[in-house]
Amino acid sequence: MASTLAEAEARKAHARRHRRAWAFEVAVALLTVAAGVLTLLALVVPYFAIDLAVEQAIQAPRAAWLDTLANAVSWVGFPPQSNVIFGAIILILFVRSRRWQAAGTLFAAAGSAGLWFLIAPLVHRARPDPELVRVAMQIPYGSFPSGHVLNFTAAFGFLAFLAWHARRPALAVLCLLPPIAIGLSRLYLGEHWPSDVLGGFLFGGLWLALTVRLYRWVTHRRQLHRLDAYGQ
């Protein structure tokens, strides 16, 4: 009887893992298609009509404290500030013997930054025009995708994954706030179009998916290695 119940539970657990794996694959496929289509459009369209409407709506509220807050949030996303933040997080994880989590965070942060350096020069989309929207600062780099959002989505998304996996949902939700806040700040300051920010979320999500997959593969291999060692 106990054996039958154990087998039933094992089958249910296997079915749940299969459903999660299938959902993950579908999500990655959808992200890939969306990122590809948006990139092709960004190559030929300087901005969309909805970009202008959304950006003007976000910039409509004007207050000194909003300017200060947006500049502060955006400033955090520029190197070397972002490097210091991610470096500190990686060091804390490493010191606390979370070495594979630290390696995953490094892969997410450094790899997503490298991905931006690959995509942005190829697309070479112009930044928002100061005659159309308020632009806080002229930046001489391609606008698509938003590097701030790409980097923060991948890195903080992986931290959210680790927190959720550790059954700390409140911390996981908290880790999702920085990418959202930095995306809004980039729009408020007029340094990206909304489609640039969307591109940052899409490509950041793809790099996050790759990071999670590699992390799961490594941790699974380590578990198998430990089981083999105990079996001997």
The tens digit of pLDDT for each residue in 38-65 reads 999 999 999 999 999 999 999 999 899 9
User: What mean pLDDT, rounded, does the chain reach?
Assistant: 90
8 Å CB contact between 138 and 160 = no
How many structural domains is the chain composed of? 1
The tens digit of pLDDT for each residue in 101-138 reads 999 999 999 999 999 999 999 999 999 999 999 998 88
Whole-number Å distance between alpha carbons of 108 and 153: 9
Q: Which domain holds residue 74?
A: 2-231
**Position 148 pLDDT exceeds 70:** yes
Q: Provide the pLDDT for residue 229.
A: 57
**Position 21 pLDDT exceeds 80:** no
Give the residue, 214 or 223, on which the prediction is more confident.
214
The tens digit of pLDDT for each residue in 75-103 reads 999 999 999 999 999 999 999 999 999 99
Measured in degrees and rounded to the nearest 5, phi and psi for residue 64 equal -60, -40
For residue 79, give the DSSP letter: T
